């Protein structure tokens, strides 16, 4: 029997070893900053005054998130999230946020996510492949790309600063596979940044509550889980399924995620 890797020790802090801000070019590093001057062109032929606009870009413009879920007994739904450090959020502690927020944010709980890679291929098929790859890398779950389901069109993550679009997928996991998940099963992508990470399993309803009360302060995760609930026909506020509603109400139910994405 192959030896299982030793679980990683508890994460205590993140230290800044070097600040290269003043000596690096804007087009170096994982993120690229384009510092532009732009102007608007109007229908009557006039032009606006030029104005500055900074744009943050990275290797790819699209990222896939995977809402991984499993049934729990006859009516429950569990979701698999990933706990990992997020350095930019952790370093809020060195700034003075606009709102008082005493938390350190050493780690965050998020849905599984990753950048679409060229080898994934274009369109929904490529998105499903990336979702399956990230499920394997980030939480140690094997899900076939063909078993992934689109949760609708993507959304821009922060359109005021960058062009990244978040694409939503869902993947069902066997209840037994969720029960044996552990931190020692996570491989990550091999980078130091991802060497500390572990899966966590929550009831879908509790995970959505955590998004609202601040325990999961991640927007893409809240959107993905809401879309998942709609996709499954689950009503978290009632802890009920659409088919359990009175016939008059279930007949009027319209799953907002049921229509295929344009161009699919």
Each residue of 183-204: pLDDT tens digit? 555 656 667 777 788 899 999 9
Distance CA(264)–CA(124), nearest Å, equals 7
Mean pLDDT of 150-168: 94
pLDDT at 38 over 90: yes
Average pLDDT over residues 111-118: 93
The pLDDT of residue 263 is above 50: no
R_g (Cα) of the chain, nearest Å: 21
Mean pLDDT score of the chain: 86
Instruction: Answer yes or no: is pLDDT of 1 > 50.
Output: no
Of 1 and 108, more confident: 108
Tokens of 99: 């709102």
Domains and CATH numbers, the chain: 61-252 (3.90.79.10)
Highest mean pLDDT out of 7-11, 16-20, 249-253: 16-20
Q: What percent of the chain has pLDDT over 90?
A: 57
Tokens 């801000």 -> residue: 21
**pLDDT for res 33:** 93
Q: Closest by alpha carbon to 114, among 128, 126, 129, 130? A: 130
* pTM of the complete model: 0.87
Give the mean pLDDT of 77-81: 95
For residues 215 and 225, give the distance between their C-alpha atoms in angstroms, rounded to a whole number: 14
In angstroms, rounded to a whole number, what is the distance separating the alpha carbons of residues 36 and 50? Answer: 10
């Amino acid at each position: 029997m192959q030896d299982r890797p030793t679980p990683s020790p508890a994460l205590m802090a993140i230290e800044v070893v070097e600040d290269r801000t003043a000596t690096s070019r804007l087009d170096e590093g994982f993120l690229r900053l384009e510092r532009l001057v732009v102007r608007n062109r109007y229908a009557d032929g006039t032009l606006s005054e030029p104005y500055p606009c900074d744009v943050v870009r990275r290797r790819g413009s699209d990222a896939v998130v995977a809402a991984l879920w499993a049934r729990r007994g006859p009516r429950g739904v569990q979701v698999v999230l990933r706990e990992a450090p997020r350095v930019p959020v952790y370093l809020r502690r060195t700034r003075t946020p606009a709102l008082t927020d005493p938390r350190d944010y050493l780690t965050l709980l998020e849905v599984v996510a990753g950048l679409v890679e060229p080898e994934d291929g274009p369109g929904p098929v490529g998105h499903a492949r990336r979702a399956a790859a990230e499920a394997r890398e980030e939480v140690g779950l094997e899900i076939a790309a063909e078993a992934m389901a689109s949760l609708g069109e993507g959304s821009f993550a922060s359109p005021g600063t960058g062009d990244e679009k978040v694409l939503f997928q869902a993947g069902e996991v066997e209840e037994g596979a969720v029960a044996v998940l552990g931190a020692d099963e996570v491989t990550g992508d091999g980078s130091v940044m991802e060497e500390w990470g572990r899966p966590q399993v929550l009831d879908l309803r509790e995970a959505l509550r955590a998004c609202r009360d601040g325990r999961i302060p991640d927007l893409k995760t809240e959107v993905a889980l809401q879309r998942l609930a709609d996709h499954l026909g689950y009503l978290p506020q009632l802890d009920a399924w659409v088919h359990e509603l009175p016939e008059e109400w279930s007949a009027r139910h319209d799953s907002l995620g049921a229509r295929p994405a344009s161009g699919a």
